[in-house]
Amino acid sequence: MMKRLSTTQIDFQPQLADLLAFETAQNPQVDADVAAILQAVRQRGDAALLEYTRRFDGLEAADMAALTLQPAELLAAYQRLAPVQREALEAAADRVRRYHQRQLQASWQYTEEDGTVLGQAVTPLDRVGLYVPGGKASYPSSVLMNAIPAKVAGVAEIIMVVPTPRGERNDLVLAAAHIAGVDRVYTLGGAQAVAALAYGTATIPQVDKITGPGNQYVAAAKRAVFGVVGIDMVAGPSEILVICDGQTDPDWVAMDLFSQAEHDEIAQSILLCPDAAYLTQVAESMARLLPGMPRQDIIRASLANRGALIQVRDLAEAAEIANQIAPEHLELSVADPWALQAQIRHAGAIFLGRYASEALGDYCAGPNHVLPTSRTARFASPLGVYDFQKRSSLIYVSAAGAQTLGRIASTLAHGEGLQAHALSAEYRLQEGC
Ligand SMILES: NC(=O)c1ccc[n+]([C@@H]2O[C@H](COP(=O)([O-])OP(=O)(O)OC[C@H]3O[C@@H](n4cnc5c(N)ncnc54)[C@H](O)[C@@H]3O)[C@@H](O)[C@H]2O)c1
Ligand SMILES: N[C@H](CO)Cc1c[nH]c[nH+]1
Ligand SMILES: [Zn+2]
């Protein structure tokens, strides 16, 4: 079912590179399809949205009102939930809120001896658009993970888009929007939803930033509209890398690998372990457990396409390979996870210990589940409150300060050949100072 590799193989590095190669977000055909969709929405607005929703989501809507959900409908969905579901959503929301409140950045300033004041004003974005995926599965947890940090940051207006294939609305998704304080929901998906948020239409207001994961069409659209609006990241399919010392119940690890594989045929699940016999046990667990999984076709395809069981020399080598892979999720299923964590530099989220299954992070541990994928954890971070805040520099210059700064600026401006810059600084210089 899954590729078996060993770091002692002579061609291990090229095999690993092959396994990690992921180019869907820059697939030229997808980019071309998305460019056409973006242009159509830009030119024909709501009419194009209705057309694409019919074509891609199988949803026949007479007008945009049929694709718009007001707060009262979100509340009604919340009220329809079974109490146990409502409590689970509320509990997850509380934990996510508590974690993200620690990320709030505050404005700061300091005063220099001559009275010049310098600082940074931190302000929330005015209006953001949250993309919640809904093609192959529904993601109430993604509603919480996007909307709560925005709310904590103080964003004034939160617009959410979510596709509803064949018009099937998911109460948990709408209830999560209610709990998180989303202002309006449009049942739109794919590149057309991203275009609507980026450019605005007669119905949909233009937003300042679009966040949230999605499939290759969503990713390509976000990449294309960046600059018109901000984006959080270009997220690829889900990934999990497990490092195990061979002592965790193999069924647990097998299910952890399935948990990300079941998202998508191109999701990635990899296990690193120094013990070849243990890798065989996990393979046996997977073979036994797979037939009982409702999404077994997706899991099988994902594991065959992009999964691997890799034998490493030792845990130190496993850490090195993890840094090379820079996975979205990294489980350290070992006796001393903190010692191993100290060797990890690149991972979106690190799950420590045998009990920390990645699924807990997806739903309710507290940290965000929107994470850098496709090796971007080398330079990117989890979605957070900081993605919904921005910074403005503050510069107050006293008369005395203008004398010191003016002379420096004037010299540098002349060096750059910029006369107006130099004079602008020099006009404020006072005789005798
Ligand atoms: N990183 C995260 O936090 C996170 C969370 C949840 C899901 N995900 C990932 O998000 C992805 C969700 O993908 P999905 O497909 O289920 O939902 P989606 O909402 O991203 O995509 C569905 C939309 O894709 C568009 N589409 C489908 N086929 C098309 C075509 N041929 N041409 C143009 N547009 C087309 C349609 O408009 C449809 O509404 C999965 O890869 C999943 O792993 C990531
Ligand atoms: N694992 C996904 C992020 O890669 C998030 C998610 C939502 N629901 C289940 N899982
Ligand atoms: Zn998941």
Domain range for 266:
3-23+236-365
Final residue in a domain of this structure, among 213, 231, 249: 231
Closest CA to 195 of 170, 214, 179, 176: 214
The answer as to whether 383 is a domain residue is no
Our answer on whether the CB atom of 142 is closer than 6 Å to any ligand 2 atom is yes
User: Distance between CA atoms of 178 and 241, rounded to whole angstroms?
Assistant: 34
Residue with tokens 């290759």: 216
| Judgement on whether residues 143 and 262 belong to the same structural domain of the protein | no
Q: Are the beta carbons of 126 and 20 closer than 8 angstroms?
A: no
pLDDT at 253 over 60: yes
Our answer on whether the CB atom of 328 is closer than 6 Å to any ligand 2 atom is yes
Ligand 1 centre to CA of 34 (Å) is 13
Ligand 2 centre to CA of 263 (Å) is 8
Ligand 3 centre to CA of 244 (Å) is 20
| Judgement on whether residues 338 and 353 belong to the same structural domain of the protein | yes
Here the CATH number for the domain that contains residue 250 is: 3.40.50.1980
Q: Name the pLDDT band for 22 (thresholds 50, 70, 90).
A: confident
> Which one of the listed residues 239, 262, 328, 358 is annotated catalytic?
328
Closest CA to 243 of 329, 302, 175: 329
| Judgement on whether residues 178 and 86 belong to the same structural domain of the protein | yes
Is the ipTM beyond the 0.90 threshold? yes
pLDDT tens for residues 342-353?
Answer: 999 999 999 999
Final residue in a domain of this structure, among 211, 231, 251: 231
User: Distance between CA atoms of 182 and 173, rounded to whole angstroms?
Assistant: 11
Our answer on whether the CB atom of 357 is closer than 6 Å to any ligand 2 atom is no
The answer as to whether 119 is a domain residue is no
Nearest CA to ligand 1 atom 36: 190
| Judgement on whether residues 137 and 90 belong to the same structural domain of the protein | yes
Mutate to test the pocket of ligand 2, among 238, 241, 295, 299 (most ligand atoms within 8 A of CB): 238
Per-residue pLDDT, averaged over 120-132, amounts to 98
Ligand 1 centre to CA of 1 (Å) is 25
pLDDT number for residue 1: 77
Q: Does 416 carry a binding-site annotation? A: yes
Residue 329, SS3 per DSSP: strand
Annotation marks residue 90 as catalytic: no
| Judgement on whether residues 218 and 96 belong to the same structural domain of the protein | yes
Residue with tokens 């957070």: 384
What percent of the chain clears pLDDT 70, i.e. is strictly above it? 99
| Judgement on whether residues 133 and 176 belong to the same structural domain of the protein | yes
What percent of the chain clears pLDDT 90, i.e. is strictly above it? 94
> How many CB atoms within 10 Å of residue 375?
18
Q: Does 414 carry a binding-site annotation? A: no
Q: Name the pLDDT band for 235 (thresholds 50, 70, 90).
A: confident
The answer as to whether 375 is a domain residue is no
Ligand 1 centre to CA of 388 (Å) is 23
The answer as to whether 204 is a domain residue is yes
Determine the atom of ligand 1 nearest the C-alpha atom of 236: 41
- Count how many domains the chain has: 2
| Judgement on whether residues 145 and 292 belong to the same structural domain of the protein | no
The answer as to whether 432 is a domain residue is no
Mutate to test the pocket of ligand 1, among 160, 211, 217 (most ligand atoms within 8 A of CB): 217
Ligand of minimum distance to the alpha carbon of 57: 1
pLDDT at 23 over 70: no
| Judgement on whether residues 196 and 338 belong to the same structural domain of the protein | no
Q: Name the pLDDT band for 432 (thresholds 50, 70, 90).
A: low
Our answer on whether the CB atom of 236 is closer than 6 Å to any ligand 1 atom is no
Per-residue pLDDT, averaged over 265-291, amounts to 97
Our answer on whether the CB atom of 238 is closer than 6 Å to any ligand 2 atom is yes
The answer as to whether 370 is a domain residue is no
pLDDT mean across residues, the chain: 96
Our answer on whether the CB atom of 51 is closer than 6 Å to any ligand 1 atom is no
| Judgement on whether residues 156 and 40 belong to the same structural domain of the protein | yes
Our answer on whether the CB atom of 358 is closer than 6 Å to any ligand 2 atom is no
Annotation marks residue 178 as catalytic: no
pLDDT tens for residues 62-92?
Answer: 999 999 999 999 999 999 999 999 999 999 9
Higher per-residue pLDDT: 215 or 271: 271
State the pTM of this model: 0.95
The answer as to whether 352 is a domain residue is yes
Nearest CA to ligand 2 atom 9: 362
Ligand 2 centre to CA of 23 (Å) is 21
Determine the atom of ligand 1 nearest the C-alpha atom of 263: 43
> How many CB atoms within 10 Å of residue 195?
28
The answer as to whether 424 is a domain residue is no
Spell out which residues have Cβ within 5 A of ligand 3, the ion: 362
**Judging by beta carbons within 10 Å of its beta carbon (0-12, 13-18, 19+), is residue 383 exposed, middle or buried?**
buried
Measured between alpha carbons, how far is residue 427 from residues 2, 359, 402, 416, 421 in Å?
72, 63, 10, 18, 10
Final residue in a domain of this structure, among 319, 341, 365: 365
Determine the atom of ligand 1 nearest the C-alpha atom of 57: 39
| Judgement on whether residues 269 and 176 belong to the same structural domain of the protein | no
Q: Does 430 carry a binding-site annotation? A: no
| Judgement on whether residues 38 and 153 belong to the same structural domain of the protein | yes
| Judgement on whether residues 201 and 54 belong to the same structural domain of the protein | yes
Per-residue pLDDT, averaged over 303-324, amounts to 97
